[in-house]
């Protein structure tokens, strides 16, 4: 599998995929999607833990 990297000022890349039928089937399906660079933001997570004994 190829690795995709967004570098420098690139914020997204559009990827086109082609799926071609095989065997007793014919045809090709095309699709596109966009890979977007993740934002560099700090995320603060808070986890509440509650323990209960017994049933």
CA distance 13 to 6: 8
Res 20: pLDDT = 95
* Exposure string for 14-34, b = 16+ CB within 10 A, e = fewer: eeeeeeeeeeeeeeeeeeeee
Tens of pLDDT along the chain (55 residues) come to 567 777 778 888 888 899 999 999 999 999 998 988 877 777 777 777 766 776 6
């Amino acid at each position: 599998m190829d690795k995709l990297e967004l570098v420098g000022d690139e914020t997204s890349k559009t990827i086109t995929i082609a799926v071609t039928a095989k065997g007793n089937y014919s045809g090709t399906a095309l699709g596109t999607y966009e890979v977007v660079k993740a934002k560099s933001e700090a995320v603060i997570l808070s986890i509440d833990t509650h323990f209960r004994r017994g049933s």
